[in-house]
Amino acid sequence: MLVGVDTTLAGAQAELVEQAKWREHPNRDTPEHVRDQAELWAGQARTELEWAKSLSK
């Protein structure tokens, strides 16, 4: 079971890295409110990831 959790956490971390790249270099046509929403989602995902890490310990 722990291996599954570790794999899921690693996948979530990788997704956050990809999202960060997109937020740093968004498409010019992407409206500002969409970028703001992406920041909100990323913040929530980071918080949930940290919570999951602490729970798995």
According to the model, what pLDDT value does residue 5 have? 67
The runs of H, that is alpha helices, within the chain are 2-24, 32-56
Kindly list the domain boundaries of the chain, sorted by start residue. 9-55
1-57 per-position pLDDT tens digit = 455 667 777 888 888 888 888 878 878 888 989 888 888 888 888 888 888 888 877
- In angstroms, the CA 50 to CA 52 distance is 5
Q: Is 57 helix (H, G, I), strand (E, B) or coil?
A: coil
Tokens describing residue 52: 């999951």
According to the model, what pLDDT value does residue 56 have? 74
